[in-house]
Amino acid sequence: MNKGLIALAFGGLAIGMTEFTMMGILPDIAKNIHIDIPTASNLIGLYALGVVVGAPTLVVATSKYPAKQVLLFLMFLFFVFNALFTLAPNTWSLFVARFTSGLPHGAFFGIGSVVAAKLAKPGKEAQSISIMFTGMTIANLIGVPLGTYIGHVFDWRITYGFISLLGLVTCVAIYFWMPDIPADKENKITQQIKYFKRWDAWLMVAIIAIGTGGLFAWISYISKLVTTVSGLPEANVSIIMVLIGGGMVVGNFLGGKLADTISPSKATICSFSAMAICLLILFFTAHITALAYPMAFITGMIAFTIGPPLQMMLINNAKGAETFAAAAGQASFNIGNSIGAYFGAVPIAMGFAYNYPSLIGVGMASIGAFLAFIFLLKVEKQKPE
């Protein structure tokens, strides 16, 4: 395996931990800085906003520089901003630092996806990208449960101090393991931005934001789902999270293999369709306690087959603006995070049980599959051979 891909996976591990550990230690942060949970939950939204803002702006700002230098710069920013978050003395400085810590996220994965594809053997591009995303899946399997435990038992600042140092470790790995890739002299900012004058670019945004929203409609309320509907004790929620993380690891590799085998767009249709079916089954079986464990693994696995094919769809459809498109894809993924959680909360607010957000997920994943089918017919089928 190319060591450059391992360096990118380290970055995925660090970014995955900083994004998803927040959900587990939010009560600890709220207690530490003397604010309520709803106010503390703004830390989740501020990070997502940072991703949306940082993805296009940092890609444009660094477009003339070699990829290795840019990746080093982005992970150094990650290190600094997460260190500031760790040391923030009050609410407002904490909020500002959380927003800035999200800025490098989309640009790193956008540039990293393009680099991973260049480092791959012909026909193995999606599998190469899946190796980078392995870091994020390992974060969900090991890093997030460990970080949550440290935050509960000791101090949440220790958790985020460790995450900050992971950014520094990634810088070292990139410096020593990432090959030098010359900057694209033909890469023009205007050409990158022009990508979003095309209707199919916005179709890709809709596919990602709506389709992946199905995942977040389910996982945002997983704790309450397994405790109030499946009947598991709260202590077993961590087991469920580990099983979901394990499923994500497997699904990430399956998604890369599937995309390289049948084409990224067809793999996307299959993944979203399977996600919709799985969430529908989960809705009807959530009350069966014994099924909570295998369904956690299976749903996590199917949901994360979507990452590599979506990244390859973006790169293949944006010739001359690959980096910008891939980074925008990460911003769209975080929009999906927000709207999935928002619409998933609607049936709960109406008094329905916590398995009903899964039905919202069924609808969103189905729309994602339908939009991907339109993309296949209207975009890929009309391209000249």
Look-up of token digits 């109030």: 228
Residue type at position 284? F
Beta-carbon neighbour count of residue 333 at 10 Å?
Answer: 27
Based on the fold, state whether residues 140 and 222 are members of the same structural domain. no
Beta-carbon neighbour count of residue 53 at 10 Å?
Answer: 16
In degrees, to the nearest 5, what angle opens at C-alpha 269 toward C-alphas 140 and 370? 115
Q: Residue 279 corresponds to which tokens in the numbers above?
A: 């969430």
Whose CA is closest to 85, among 142, 153, 165, 154? 165
What is the number of domains present in the chain? Answer: 2
What integer pLDDT is reported at residue 186 of this predicted model?
A: 63
Based on the fold, state whether residues 192 and 181 are members of the same structural domain. no
Domain containing 236 equals 188-385
Residue type at position 208? I
Question: Cβ(267)–Cβ(357) under 8 Å?
Answer: no
Based on the fold, state whether residues 154 and 198 are members of the same structural domain. no
Based on the fold, state whether residues 382 and 316 are members of the same structural domain. yes
In Å, how far are 226, 283, 296 from 274, measured between CA atoms?
A: 21, 14, 14
Torsion from C-alpha of 135, 141, 147, 153, nearest 10 degrees: -170
Q: How far apart are CA 373 and CA 78, in angstroms?
A: 37
User: Residues 259-282, buried b or exposed e (16+ Cβ, 10 A)?
Assistant: bbeebbbbbbbbbbbbbbebbbbb
User: Could you tell me which residue, 97 or 311, shows the higher pLDDT?
Assistant: 97
Instruction: Give the domain CATH number at 98.
Output: 1.20.1250.20
Q: Which three-class secondary structure state does DSSP give residue 63?
A: coil
Q: How confident is the model over 363-376, as pLDDT tens digits?
A: 999 999 999 999 99
Based on the fold, state whether residues 242 and 320 are members of the same structural domain. yes
In the DSSP assignment, the letter for residue 121 is: P
What integer pLDDT is reported at residue 269 of this predicted model?
A: 95
Whose CA is closest to 345, among 337, 354, 332? 354
What's the whole-number mean pLDDT along residues 350-354? 90
Q: Which of 75-89, 100-114, 205-219, 310-324 has the lowest mean pLDDT?
A: 310-324
Q: Which three-class secondary structure state does DSSP give residue 91?
A: helix
Beta-carbon neighbour count of residue 257 at 10 Å?
Answer: 17
Q: How confident is the model over 34-66, as pLDDT tens digits?
A: 887 667 778 877 888 899 899 888 988 888 889
Q: How far apart are CA 136 and CA 158, in angstroms?
A: 20
Q: Among 155, 185, 215, identify where a domain stops.
A: 185
User: Could you tell me which residue, 233 or 366, shows the higher pLDDT?
Assistant: 366
Q: How far apart are CA 181 and CA 65, in angstroms?
A: 10
Start-to-end Cα distance in the chain: 32
Based on the fold, state whether residues 147 and 74 are members of the same structural domain. yes
Q: How far apart are CA 251 and CA 270, in angstroms?
A: 13
Based on the fold, state whether residues 251 and 371 are members of the same structural domain. yes
Based on the fold, state whether residues 157 and 293 are members of the same structural domain. no
The answer to whether residue 320 scores a pLDDT higher than 80 is: no
Q: How far apart are CA 121 and CA 314, in angstroms?
A: 19
Q: Among 130, 165, 185, identify where a domain stops.
A: 185
Q: How confident is the model over 241-277, as pLDDT tens digits?
A: 889 888 988 998 899 889 888 889 999 999 999 999 9
Based on the fold, state whether residues 170 and 192 are members of the same structural domain. no
Q: Residue 109 corresponds to which tokens in the numbers above?
A: 């994965």
Based on the fold, state whether residues 156 and 277 are members of the same structural domain. no
Based on the fold, state whether residues 154 and 181 are members of the same structural domain. yes
Q: DSSP letters along 140-185, please?
A: IIIIHHHHHHHHHHT-HHHHHHHHHHHHHHHHHHHHHHSPP----T
Torsion from C-alpha of 189, 199, 47, 110, nearest 10 degrees: -50
Q: What is the CA radius of gyration of the chain?
A: 20
The answer to whether residue 135 scores a pLDDT higher than 80 is: yes
Q: How far apart are CA 159 and CA 261, in angstroms?
A: 39
Based on the fold, state whether residues 206 and 67 are members of the same structural domain. no
What integer pLDDT is reported at residue 380 of this predicted model?
A: 64
Question: 236 burial class (0-12, 13-18, 19+ CB within 10 angstroms)?
Answer: middle
In the DSSP assignment, the letter for residue 349 is: H
pTM of the model: 0.80
**Confidence class for position 385, pLDDT limits 50, 70, 90:** very low
Q: Among 185, 217, 237, identify where a domain stops.
A: 185
